Structure 1
Amino acid sequence: MPPKLTEKTFVKDMKKLLFIAAILTFHLHAFGQSKSNAAQEQQLLSYLQKQDYAAASKYVDSVYQENTNDPVQLAQLAYAHLMAGKLLKSEAQYLRIQQQHPNNLAAIQGLAGISLKRGNIKKAKDYYREAIRVDSTNALSYKQLASLSSKGPQDVYLAYLKKANSLDPGDAEVAVGLGNLYVQKEEYSQADAVLTPAIRADSSNLRLLELKMPVHIAAKKYEDAVATGEHLLAQGDSSTMVLNELGKTYFLLLQYQKALNCFLKIDKKEMSEETLAYQVAQSYRGLRDYKSAIPYLENSIREGISSKTASYYGVLGDSFERINKNQEANAAYKEGLKFENNGSLYYNIALVYENKLNDKKNAIEYYTLYQKTLDQNKQAKTIKFIKSKIEELKR
């Protein structure tokens, strides 16, 4: 699945957000700009477009006075310093803007960005909530809150994503985050409602197209799912999700060889081995190659069983013993033998037969089985003890 929208998306969004908010918002509110100011702004824009933030920072320091109260100049200083990593300077300038204009959205969002760069997630959230109070229609503030809430309660993360999406349906990152949640919940109609307008806005976005595949499958639009999957492969996207969804689609279309080809290309580390092995086995069965299917089915069964299952049965058997339900104890121990174990269950069963059920014949049988699991070099004393036990019971 595509990843959640997280705080890692911050840098790209802040470039977009602060560039527009800090440079253009104040410019629109500035009156009577001189030609010299226009030339300075053009030079600054040139540095920012080239992402030469160090040069931009030096430039604004050279053309504007540090103690300026002009909001446009302060905005340009704050933004350039923020992108150059001069957080203290940037913060001071945004705070000065906020003192002049308490509800200025660009200043609030700039301070949120500085808090986030410093790792102060709580403070960043507070600023973004303040930004929403100032402008409840600002999609980017909701998007940032969603990214900062991705590791918390899912209902909060979902609420912010839904709001951001409602305000800007064409934002691909928000659509991916929200669409992914809906696909995970198998709420495919909601996922489709989110993905369709986002794809309309950016039909070349591979993450959006990835999520469209399970939506197509759920709607039984198998040909559409195949077309999308093959397009993604042609674009170089051979991710586990694409190969798995495409393989499942080919299987549903009874095109077993193509399904098998997809499943076999999936990296085992990227997917549940139990599920992958079963899908490969089913594809072989579709091709009537039962011999090839068998080892994959065996692997699927093996992967589906916890390595601790035998231990669980051991504890269950011991619990029965402690309340003198000895038949039930041995039944539990024997169930544990069906799974991987270190041989200790044989010993437990033998003890029950010997000491609780007075069944020497079965006690000998299980002591013998236990002896065979012992290492002759490392457990010589134990082997000697078990042999003496067996001899004693035979008398």
Structure 2
Amino acid sequence: MKNLFLLITLLGLNLSLYAQNNQAVDKEKLFDFYQSQRYADAAQYLKSIYGEEPDDFKILSQMGYCFLMAGNNVEAEKFYGRAYILQPQNLPILFSLASINNKRGNTEKARKYYGEIVKTDSNNFNVYKLLANMYSSPKEDSVKLIYLLKAHKINPLEGDVAADLAEVHSNYQQYEKAYDVLDIAIKDDSDNLVLQRAKLPIANQLKRYAEVIASGEKLLKDGADAGVIKDVAKAYYYTKKYQKAIDLFKVLEVAAMQNEATLYYTSLSYRALKNYQQAAIYTKKTIDEAISPNTSSYYSLLGLVYEENNQLSLANAAYKKGLQFKVVPTLYYRMAVFYDTKLKQGKNALKYYILYLKSKPSLTDDKEEIKFTKDRIAQLNLTD
């Protein structure tokens, strides 16, 4: 019904333009294009009638709309842009230009058009919401907050804005404000699970652990959401229900969804239960999780850079530091060659060549290095 009304409106607009052009428009043909949603054909037909540069606002708007519906954003922007010159405060034109530029990644231009809308209509909730969504990086939180506050003031019950505003408040550690924003929206929409999940970490920050456990356990009945599990488990830890905390944290571990924080709290829970063996295991897991698996490779690269710059003591220190994180065959090989060629320390070179072979390098990828290592070990053994 809505589409039919739009077609009738557009057709009526087209009819009103007949008198402004010497060439008559075939209304049946145009209506057929609209009805069958052949907007590209409609746009080209209108262009054949009105030309490339009509100077009538309604014609430009109609052609811009047809190209927009046809997915031709370049042509749509061209005709809407000309309409904008004629009527720079026209809200539908501003919305269309902002939307087109947003889709094409022209963020600054989209912001400009949305900004012009709020100058004309300062109570437009949708524009403030759209503007807020265009500031996504943490560095832009201060600007995003301004638009979210304006949108929230107009409609404090809208869930998306409430969730986004609460997140920004949380980023500024304004947990009470974040909690209140979500609380208002949840009271209006008590079945909104997105808002309920968003509220849990904030309630934890405010030490409302009983609320987190009660609400979180209900949410877990609808599915094992990792974020909910983590928040409920933390609430159990802070209320000294350590075994329940461990049980939930292990659900994440089984699903390979653990992280440094969850492993850390698991270790603390075991320690609180005086299970020191498990506490030690999970402390080691926490350390492993906190360290990048590529750290040793980074130190290997650092050592190579120092070596190539003839900073041999720094190179030696970097290589050894890499071994503290993870033993990788490449690092042993680099150290062996380093001691062999740079420091001229045959015994140390021999030690690392042997360690390289014991570390099981790839027989296919490291074939040449393995052959060189074996030959060099034989030579070094002869010199001894």
Query: Under a length normalisation based on structure 1, what TM-score does the superposition of the two structures give?
Result: 0.66
Q: Are 2:319 and 1:333 equivalent residues in the alignment?
A: yes
Tell me which of 7, 12, 15 is aligned to 1:67.
Answer: 15
Write the letter of the residue equivalent to 1:388. A
Q: Secondary structure at the match of 2:185?
A: helix
Q: Who is 1:92 aligned against?
A: 62
Q: Who is 1:111 aligned against?
A: 96
Cα distance in 1 between the residues matched to 2:283 and 2:38:
55
What percent identity do the matched residue pairs reach? Answer: 32
1:154-193 aligned within 5 A: 154-193=141-180
Tell me which of 205, 208, 233 is aligned to 1:221.
Answer: 208
Q: Secondary structure at the match of 2:325?
A: coil
Tell me which of 196, 211, 214 is aligned to 2:198.
Answer: 211
* RCO higher in structure (CA 8 A, sep ≥6): 1
Q: Secondary structure at the match of 1:266?
A: helix
Q: How far apart are 1:143 and its partner, in Å?
A: 0.9
Q: Are 2:315 and 1:367 equivalent residues in the alignment?
A: no
Cα distance in 2 between the residues matched to 1:67 and 1:211:
52
Residues 342-370 of structure 1 deviation map (CA, whole Å, 9 limit, x = unaligned): 33444444455556666554444333323
Q: Are 2:374 and 1:384 equivalent residues in the alignment?
A: yes
Q: 1:371 to 1:171 in 2, by over 3 A?
A: closer
1:6-155 aligned within 5 A: 47-48=1-2, 53=3, 55-57=4-6, 66-68=14-16, 91-92=61-62, 103=89, 105=91, 107-108=92-93, 111=96, 115=100, 119=104, 122=107, 124-150=110-136, 153-155=140-142
Q: 1:279 to 1:90 in 2, by over 3 A?
A: farther
Q: Who is 2:184 aligned against?
A: 197
Q: Who is 2:229 aligned against?
A: 243
Q: 1:86 to 1:188 in 2, by over 3 A?
A: farther
Q: How far apart are 1:252 and its partner, in Å?
A: 0.8
Q: How far apart are 1:171 and its partner, in Å?
A: 1.9
Q: How far apart are 1:201 and its partner, in Å?
A: 3.1
Contact kept? 2:350, 2:377, Cα under 8 Å: no
Q: 1:108 to 1:360 in 2, by over 3 A?
A: closer
Cα distance in 2 between the residues matched to 1:347 and 1:99:
69
Q: Give the gaps of 5 or more residues in structure 2.
A: 18-33, 44-58, 66-79
- Residue range with higher mean Cα deviation, 287-296 or 301-310: 287-296
Residues 260-311 of structure 1 deviation map (CA, whole Å, 9 limit, x = unaligned): 2322333788856333333334444444444455554433322322233223
Q: How far apart are 1:150 and its partner, in Å?
A: 3.1
Q: How far apart are 1:120 and its partner, in Å?
A: 7.0
Q: 1:126 to 1:237 in 2, by over 3 A?
A: farther
Q: CA RMSD in A?
A: 4.1
Write the letter of the residue equivalent to 1:314. S
Q: How far apart are 1:112 and its partner, in Å?
A: 5.2
Q: Who is 1:258 aligned against?
A: 244
Q: 1:203 to 1:270 in 2, by over 3 A?
A: farther
Q: How far apart are 1:246 and its partner, in Å?
A: 1.0
Q: How far apart are 1:231 and its partner, in Å?
A: 3.1
Contact kept? 1:371, 1:386, Cα under 8 Å: no
Cα distance in 2 between the residues matched to 1:301 and 1:115:
48
Write the letter of the residue equivalent to 2:326. E
Q: Secondary structure at the match of 1:220?
A: coil
Aligned length, in residue pairs = 327
Contact kept? 2:156, 2:181, Cα under 8 Å: yes
Write the letter of the residue equivalent to 2:129. K
Contact kept? 1:91, 1:114, Cα under 8 Å: no
Q: Give the gaps of 5 or more residues in structure 1.
A: 1-46, 70-80
Q: How far apart are 1:145 and its partner, in Å?
A: 1.6
Cα distance in 2 between the residues matched to 1:169 and 1:239:
27
Q: 1:114 to 1:346 in 2, by over 3 A?
A: closer
Cα distance in 2 between the residues matched to 1:370 and 1:164:
62
Write the letter of the residue equivalent to 2:245. A
Cα distance in 1 between the residues matched to 2:263 and 2:189:
36
- Residue range with higher mean Cα deviation, 111-120 or 330-339: 111-120
Contact kept? 1:108, 1:127, Cα under 8 Å: no
Cα distance in 2 between the residues matched to 1:198 and 1:388:
76
